[in-house]
Structure formats: structure tokens, C-alpha cells
Structure 1
Amino acid sequence: MRFTRLWLTDFRNYSHLEVDLPAGTSVFVGSNGEGKTNLLEAIYYLATMTSFRVSTADVLIRSDPEVSQAVVRGEVVAGEREMLFEAALRQSSRSHYQVNKQRVRRRDLLGLIPVSVFMPDDLVLVKGGPSERRRYMDEALAQIDSRLDVVRSDVENILRQRNALLRQSGGRFSSEVAMTLEVWDDKLTEAGEQLAEARRRLAMRLEPRTATAYTEIAGQALPLEMAYESAWQSEGLSEALRQARSEDLRRGVTTVGPHRDDLSVLLDGRSVRTHASQGEQRSLALALRLAVHRELAEVSGQSPVLLLDDVFSELDPGRSQGVLRALRSEQTLLTSAGPLSSEIAYDALFRVTAGRVYREM
């Protein structure tokens, strides 16, 4: 599967762009701030209806008082099948999305274009808080099975409603509050346990893939363990919510549930967050992304589009070569602010300057 053409209108710093994208590896070079990452972001948005950088679509629209929407279009070839993906991003209103001129929802879109993105910021998967690792798992689950993205959305909506009730209660446990809490607790238990179980199964599948990828990238085999951690797992979510009710009422927020869970990663028996070196942490962050890439390839039966945003800038030559050997895709889009190593083979070279793209090779 690959993109053959991309059109942008008023997306980020692009007023108008039309570029043909070949198979194989395409490299986009240019100084920082010229729009390289914006190209990858547009591709990712067409595949997932979300950005890998921001949570709202408003900031994706070109900053201009006369511009109220951005349009992203892409032609995709999968085997002998051709598809046209189109997104209209609007200020202060829902985005409009079409596949082959037919309106679709996010749940219908996810999985149609498997895509993997690698970024320097991926280090937060290792060094950041639990929310970064939960997001990593949920993004993977959304592409593996779009129904699980609906479950995640349900959990978030239920939590908003439950937290609103807790705040409105003022810490008082009246009969009316108790009755409504029971309703939300039942809903959260059903959806929350389903989401947590999906994350737990994903962690088990990704553990051997991550260990293999780490060895390929770092050139060193170390024992690796991954486990999904739920403080409420032993007693079940329903009982945990009941036990935490007084604390929840006091604080006005839900203190237990899948929104507080984490993915534990140990390398050679030690926490990578606190005991791994910078090089080990970077290698592991890449290995985590690569593990999902390979999981998507197996589940979908297609080669996910690879988006590599300046990932070699922070790696030493040995690890860079390990990444190159490990990554395989029908189409790879790679950005670089600096000169590329002579070891990096590519099929097309583009220069990005002030929202314009020129093919040089």
C-alpha cells in the first residue's frame, strides 16, 4: 500500500501543494520550520483522522484571517485498488471526511491505510508519564481494530460524565448522587475492563516484537519485559470504584480505572525510565514503534506506510544502520534537516522550502 499523490490547500504552512509520491523511500530535506514534518502530518491525518502532534484540528489550518478551512487529499494504491481520501478541516466545526467521495466516520476509516510514524519525540514513550504509553497502545489498537477506538472514546466520555457528577456533588454522598454514580460505574466497568484487556493482550503481543527490534537497532540482545499494569486488576474495576468512592467524592475526580494504568518496560531487569542510558532509551523508543509497525503489517496483511521524522538526527551511526536494516515498507517518507549519511539509500529526493516542495532526484 502506498500514496501516489498528495494535495494540500491551506494546511499548516502550505497554501497550495500537489506532489507525486513514488514507491520506495522518499527523502524530504530542508531547514527547520520549512514544512517537512507538516507533509508527514498530512499523510498521517488522512490515514487516522488525527494528528500525531496536536489534539485539535484548528491549528492545522493555515494561519490567515481569510482562511477558514484546510483541505487534504491523497490518492492511495493498494494492490490493484485505487482510492481517493479527502479531508476538509474547518474552524470551530467538525471535519468532513470522504473516501472515494463517500462520507465516512473515523471508525470506518481506521485500518484502511496502515501507517507507522517515528519521531524524535518518541523518547517520551520511555521517559514520559503513563499517559504517553497509554496513548501509544490506544493508537495501535485503533489501527488494529477500529471497534477498540470506539471503546476508548466511550471510556473517555463516561469519565467526563462521572467526573462532572463528582464535582457537582460537592463531596456530599446523597441518595441521588449514589444512584447516578451506580449507573456511571456500571458503564465504566464494562467499557474500562474491555479497553484494559485489549491493552493487556497488545502488550503481550508486542513484548517479543519489541525485544527483537531492540536487538536489531542496538546490536545487543538484552532481556526485555513488558507488562500492562492496572492497580485495580486483582479486585476488578467495579469493586475498585466502590472502594475509591469516598476519595473520588472528596477530590471530585475518578481515581481508578484504565485512565490511570501504565505500560511497564524493563530492560535487563531494570526500569528503562530510570536506569537505562540515553542510547538505550532511544533504541527502545524506536523498538516500541517498530514492534507496532510489524504488528500492523501482520494483522492487516499490508505494508504500513512509514513516516520517519528526522529520526536519525539523535542516533549514532551504528544505531542508525540498525534502524535502516530493521525497517521495511513498500513506501517510506523520511525527513531530514541535516545531510544524510551516505549509507542511506533512497529512491527520490525532495527539497522543502517555505511551504514549497521541489523534486531534486
Structure 2
Amino acid sequence: MRFTKLWLSDFRSYCQLDLDLPTGTSLFVGANGEGKTNLLEAIFYLATMGSFRVSTVSALVRTDSTVSEAVVRGEALAGERKLLIEAAIRHHGRSHFQMNRQRVRRRELLGRIPVSVFMPEDLTLVKGSPNDRRRYLDDALGQMEPRLDAVRSEVENILRQRNALLRGAGGRLSADVGTTLEVWDDKLAEAAEELVDARRMLAMRLGPRAAAAYGEIAGEMLPLEMSYECAWQGEGLGEALKRARSEDLRRGVSTVGPHRDDLSLMLDGRPVRTHASQGEQRSLALALRLAVHRELAEAVGQSPVLLLDDVFSELDPGRSRGVLRALHSEQTLLTSAGDLPADISYDARFRVTAGRVYREV
């Protein structure tokens, strides 16, 4: 399972690009700001119809007053089948996606070419907000079971509608507001409980994988506890929404629900966010990504494409060797702005300069 070709037009820093992608490990080197990460982002976008860097797709269109859309095309092999995936990303209006010249929706594409991305910003998985950890779970679920990506979108839409109603109520519970809240509460409870059940089950499966991966990367085994935290689990979301209604009206926002949940991480009996060292936090962030990579590989029956964005820049040599031992894929795209660990071997080397890519080896 791998990409064989990548074409870009007005995507990020690239005016035009036509690139052959070999099997094995491809190394992309160059100074910061030359466009290395943009290549990985383009591959990720073709596989997921989303970015691992931004939520606003207009940022993917090259900055130029004459440019209104970016085009990303990729040719991939999924088993014996050849896939041509195309995306037209627009500054304004809806983007369009095709697979083998047929229009597709996001959930029809998710999981066809699974990808795993590792980047320095992954440290937010352990140090960042609960939203970072919820997205970690939701993105994994979307590739493993695309139907759940639609459920997540439904939950987000219901919450937007409910919050708009709460803001418009001005803190007063009129008969009309109460009736409409009941409707949104029922819809939210049904969709959210399905999403949260899936998140909780995934967290249970990922826990042992993350613990094993941490041992491989850090070179030592430490007890890792990973659990999904949901404040309304005992009573159900429907009852929790009723109990929180006065507070929701006062604040004009939904104060309980799946958008408030978190993934708890404890290493050696201590909260990772506040008590783990920098090295432990980085090792665990990589372990969390590696756990999803292995879970996804088992779910789809093939190893996902690996996207490694300058992941060795913040690791000591021992942890770098641990990462190398732990990662395996039919295709790996690796970027680096500096020196690489001596142990790294690659099948092709590319130089990235000012939005151009040259093969060196």
C-alpha cells in the first residue's frame, strides 16, 4: 500500500510539481521553510481529505492574488488496485474530490490508503489541551471505521446548533427554547454516546500498544495507564444535559458532552502532562502515534504509509534508534532539516529547495 506519483498545482509553496515516489524510505532534506512538510501534508490530504496542520483548507492554496484553487493529485497502489485520487481545494466554496475520476465523499475515501503521521508538534498529545487528545482518537477512528467520521461530524453540527440556540436565548428559558432544546438534547445524546463508546474502546485497545511502544522507544518499561474520561458516563448524556441546562443557559454554551471529554495519561503512576520529563513526554507522544499505526495496520490488513516530519530533531541518539527499530512500513516519507542519526538508511534521497524537489540518490 503506497503512493507512486504526486502532482501539485498551487498547493502551499508549490506552483507545479511532478514527483515519482518509490517504495521503501524516501528522505527529503532541505532548510526550514523550503516546502518539505508541505509534501507530507499533500499526501495526508489525499488520503484523508484533511490537513494535519490546519483546519481551514484555504490555507493550502498558494498565496497569490491570481490563484483561486490548488489541485492535488496522487496515484497509489492498494493491493493489486491502482487508485487515482484528485482534490481541487478552493479559497471559497466547496472543495471537490475524485477517485478514479468518480466524485467521492470523505467517508468513501477514508481508509483506502491509510496513513500515519509523526511530527514534533505531537508533543501536544501529552502537554496540550483535551481537544488535541480527542482529535487523536477521532482521526484514528475515522481511518479504521469511516462511518464514525460521519458520526463525529454529526455531533459537531448538533453542538453548533445547540450552542446557537443557547446564545440566542439570552439566559431565559422560554417555552419555545425549552422545546427546541429537548430536540437537540435527544439528537446529541444518541450521536454522542455512539462516538464516545467508540473512543473508549479504542483507548482500551491502544493502551497496551502504547505501553509496549514506549518501552521500545525509551529503552525502559514503565507502567502506562491510558483511560477515557467522561464526566457524564454514569448517568448518561441525556440526564447530564438536563442537569446542566440552567448553567448552559447562563453561559450560552454546552458545558457537558463529548466535546469536554479527555484521554487520561499516567506514566509510572504520575500524570504525564505535569510530572513527566521532556524526554518521557516526547517518547510517549511517539508511542501514542506508533500505537495507532499498529492498530490501523491490523484493522486494514496492511501497513499504513508513514509520514515522519523531522521527528529526530528533538530526540537523543538512544530514543532515535528506538524509533527506527519500532517503525516499519512499505513506504516511509521522512523529512529532515539537519543531521540524521547514523543508523538511518533510506532508498531514495531528495533535495527540497524553494518549492522544487530534486532527486539526489
Q: What TM-score, normalized by structure 1, do the two folds share? A: 0.99
- Aligned-residue identity in percent: 76
What corresponds to 1:89 in structure 2? 89
1:121 partnered with 2:121: yes
Q: Any residues of structure 2 matched to 1:161-180 within 5 Å, and which?
A: 161-180=161-180
CA distance in 2, matches of 1:78, 1:251: 49
**Which structure 1 residue ranges, 4+ long, deviate > 6 Å from structure 2?**
none
What corresponds to 2:25 in structure 1? 25
Amino acid at match of 1:226: M
What corresponds to 2:335 in structure 1? 335
What corresponds to 1:144 in structure 2? 144
Partner-residue secondary structure (3-state), 2:189:
helix
Alpha-carbon contact 2:143-2:296 (below 8 Å) kept: yes
CA distance in 2, matches of 1:238, 1:74: 44
Partner-residue secondary structure (3-state), 2:340:
coil
What corresponds to 1:62 in structure 2? 62
Alpha-carbon contact 2:96-2:103 (below 8 Å) kept: yes
Amino acid at match of 1:2: R
Q: Any residues of structure 2 matched to 1:291-302 within 5 Å, and which?
A: 291-302=291-302
Amino acid at match of 1:318: G
CA distance in 1, matches of 2:165, 2:57: 29
1:198 partnered with 2:198: yes
State the Cα distance separating 1:175 from its structure 2 match: 1.1
What corresponds to 2:354 in structure 1? 354
1:244-276 Cα offsets, whole Å, 9 max, x none, are 000000000000000000000110111100100
CA distance in 2, matches of 1:89, 1:6: 16
Partner-residue secondary structure (3-state), 2:66:
coil
Partner-residue secondary structure (3-state), 1:312:
coil
1:117-154 Cα offsets, whole Å, 9 max, x none, are 00000000000010000010000010010110011000
What corresponds to 2:3 in structure 1? 3
CA distance in 2, matches of 1:360, 1:329: 22
State the Cα distance separating 1:195 from its structure 2 match: 0.7
Q: Any residues of structure 2 matched to 1:223-262 within 5 Å, and which?
A: 223-262=223-262
1:15 partnered with 2:15: yes
CA distance in 1, matches of 2:137, 2:80: 31
1:75 partnered with 2:75: yes
1:157 partnered with 2:160: no
1:74-108 Cα offsets, whole Å, 9 max, x none, are 11012221110100101111111000000000010
**Superposed CA RMSD:** 0.5
Amino acid at match of 2:155: V
CA distance in 1, matches of 2:50, 2:109: 11
What corresponds to 1:217 in structure 2? 217
State the Cα distance separating 1:340 from its structure 2 match: 1.8
Alpha-carbon contact 2:120-2:310 (below 8 Å) kept: yes
CA distance in 2, matches of 1:180, 1:334: 51
What corresponds to 2:274 in structure 1? 274
CA distance in 1, matches of 2:105, 2:80: 24
Partner-residue secondary structure (3-state), 2:292:
helix
CA distance in 2, matches of 1:127, 1:325: 25
CA distance in 2, matches of 1:79, 1:261: 38
Partner-residue secondary structure (3-state), 1:121:
helix
Q: What TM-score, normalized by structure 2, do the two folds share? A: 0.99
What corresponds to 1:318 in structure 2? 318
Long gaps (5+) in structure 1: none
Alpha-carbon contact 2:320-2:341 (below 8 Å) kept: no
State the Cα distance separating 1:339 from its structure 2 match: 1.9
What corresponds to 1:185 in structure 2? 185
CA distance in 1, matches of 2:91, 2:239: 43
Q: Any residues of structure 2 matched to 1:280-295 within 5 Å, and which?
A: 280-295=280-295
How many residue pairs get aligned? The number is: 361
Partner-residue secondary structure (3-state), 2:56:
coil
Amino acid at match of 1:192: A
State the Cα distance separating 1:341 from its structure 2 match: 2.2
Alpha-carbon contact 2:2-2:76 (below 8 Å) kept: yes
Alpha-carbon contact 2:83-2:99 (below 8 Å) kept: yes
What corresponds to 2:208 in structure 1? 208
CA distance in 2, matches of 1:31, 1:168: 50
CA distance in 2, matches of 1:342, 1:24: 18
State the Cα distance separating 1:342 from its structure 2 match: 2.1
